C-alpha cells in the first residue's frame, strides 16, 4: 500500500475517517426510516454503537487490509453520510456500501463520493475486483452501483439474515479494468447516428447491448427481443411483423429499435415494440436522435402516426417519450399505458 489518500477531496465533498463530532449526526440519520429502511444495521441504532464505530477509527488514516473501514462524507464541514469499504487481506477485492442523510438525497453526493473512493482503491491500492451487495428492493442503491460502472452478477434468494428474517440479495461487481473502461467511455454526443439493418455480419455486436439491470423492469433484453421477433404473439388473431434496426453511433453499436408493422386495416399505425440504448451510451442524446430518424423513415413510408406503450413507474421511460412528442391516450394495454404520436 502507498501513502494514504485520506482525506480525499472531490469537487464538492471531503471523504475522510469518522471522528467524535460526527457521532450525533451519524446516530440521527441511521435511525431515520428514510435512510435505514433497506440498510443492514439493526434498529434502533443506539448512540453507543456510533461511539464504538468512531472509536474504532480513532488512530486510522487509511483503509486497512482484512477489515472494514467506515469513511465519512463531509459537505461544508458537516457529515452527510458514510461509505463502507471492506478490503480483503490481499488487497485484491473490496466490498463497498453507502448511506446518506435523507436531506441530501438526489443531489449526486453519494455517487461523487463513492466514485472517488473506488478510483482510489483501483488506482492507488491496486484492487482488482469490487463488489456490492444489497436488498432486491433497494433500487436507489442499485442505480448508484450502476452509475459507478458495476453490473448485476447474480440474485441470491433468501441468503441474507436481516432483522429476524432471511432476505433476498443482489450481487453487483466490476473489475478494475471494467472501472477504467467505464471512466473512459464516450460521454459527449456522437457526430453521427444511424439506423442500420441487422445482418448475420453485425448482429452479434448488437446482441451484446444491455441496459442497466435496474432498467430491465421497463426494457426487455436483446435476447428476449430476438425471441419475440422470431415468434411474435398474434394481435387480435392477426400476425405481427417485427422490423428490427440497430442504432449506430459513430460506427459503434449503441442501441436497438424494433417495431410492429401495420397489423391489419383496423390498426394501421406502426407500434414501437422495443427501444434500448446501451448502458455505456446513455446520456449522450443518442436515443432522441435515433427516434427522430425513425419518425422520418416512417413518414417517408407514408405513415401518419405511431403508437407506443410503457410501464408507468419511477425511473421509467415516460418522461423521455412525452418529451419526444408522444401523448397518452388514456388506454391501458395490460399493465402499460398506451400513447400515440402524430407524424
Nearest CA-CA partner of 252 in 319, 291, 174, 194: 194
pTM: 0.90
Which CATH number is associated with domain 193-342? Answer: 3.40.630.30
Q: What is the overall mean pLDDT for the chain?
A: 94
Angle at 268 between CA 226 and CA 310, to 5 degrees: 50
pLDDT surpassing 60 at residue 230 = yes
Residue 266 pLDDT grade (very low, low, confident, very high; cuts 50, 70, 90): low
pLDDT surpassing 80 at residue 264 = no
Residue 159 pLDDT grade (very low, low, confident, very high; cuts 50, 70, 90): confident
- Section 39-53 average pLDDT: 94
* Domain locations in the chain as residue ranges: 8-183, 193-342
Question: 8-183 and 193-342 share one CATH topology?
Answer: yes
Crossing angle of helices 176-183 and 109-123, in 10° steps, is: 130
pLDDT at 240: 85
The CATH architecture of the domain made up of 8-183 is: 3-Layer(aba) Sandwich (3.40)
For 183-227, the pLDDT digits (tens) are 999 999 999 999 999 999 999 999 999 999 999 999 999 999 999
pLDDT at 238: 73
pLDDT surpassing 80 at residue 320 = yes
Amino acid at each position: 500500500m502507498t501513502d494514504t489518500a485520506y482525506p480525499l477531496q472531490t469537487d464538492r465533498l471531503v471523504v475522510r475517517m469518522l471522528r467524535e463530532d460526527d457521532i450525533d449526526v451519524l446516530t440521527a440519520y441511521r435511525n431515520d426510516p428514510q435512510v435505514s429502511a433497506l440498510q443492514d444495521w439493526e434498529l434502533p441504532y443506539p448512540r453507543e454503537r456510533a461511539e464504538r464505530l468512531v472509536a474504532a477509527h480513532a488512530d486510522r488514516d487509511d483503509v486497512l487490509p482484512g477489515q472494514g473501514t467506515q469513511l465519512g462524507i463531509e459537505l461544508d464541514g458537516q457529515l452527510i453520510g458514510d461509505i463502507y469499504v471492506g478490503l480483503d487481506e490481499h488487497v485484491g477485492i473490496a466490498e463497498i456500501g453507502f448511506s446518506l442523510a435523507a436531506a441530501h438525497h438526489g443531489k449526486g453526493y453519494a455517487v461523487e463520493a463513492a466514485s472517488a473512493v473506488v478510483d482510489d482503491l483501483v488506482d492507488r491500492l491496486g484492487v482488482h475486483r469490487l463488489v456490492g451487495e444489497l436488498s432486491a428492493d433497494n433500487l436507489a442503491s442499485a442505480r448508484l452501483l450502476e452509475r459507478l460502472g458495476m453490473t448485476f452478477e447474480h440474485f441470491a434468494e433468501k441468503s441474507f439474515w436481516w432483522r429476524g428474517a432471511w432476505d433476498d440479495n443482489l450481487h453487483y461487481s466490476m473489475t478494475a479494468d471494467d472501472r477504467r473502461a467505464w471512466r473512459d467511455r464516450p460521454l459527449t454526443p456522437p457526430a453521427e447516428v444511424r439506423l442500420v439493418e441487422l445482418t448475420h455480419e453485425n448482429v452479434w455486436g448488437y446482441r451484446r447491448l444491455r441496459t442497466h439491470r435496474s432498467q430491465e423492469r421497463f426494457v426487455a433484453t436483446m435476447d428476449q427481443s430476438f425471441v419475440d421477433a422470431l415468434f411474435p404473439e398474434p394481435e387480435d388473431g392477426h400476425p405481427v411483423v417485427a422490423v428490427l434496426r440497430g442504432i449506430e453511433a459513430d460506427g459503434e453499436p449503441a442501441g436497438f429499435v424494433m417495431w410492429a408493422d401495420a397489423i391489419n386495416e383496423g390498426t394501421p399505425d406502426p407500434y414501437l415494440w422495443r427501444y434500448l440504448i446501451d448502458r455505456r451510451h446513455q446520456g449522450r442524446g443518442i436515443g432522441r436522435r435515433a427516434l427522430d430518424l425513425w419518425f422520418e423513415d416512417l413518414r417517408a413510408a407514408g405513415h401518419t402516426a405511431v403508437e407506443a406503450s410503457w410501464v408507468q413507474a419511477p425511473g421509467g421511460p415516460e418522461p423521455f417519450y412525452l418529451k419526444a412528442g408522444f401523448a397518452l391516450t388514456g388506454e391501458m394495454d395490460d399493465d402499460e399505458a398506451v400513447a400515440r404520436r402524430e407524424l
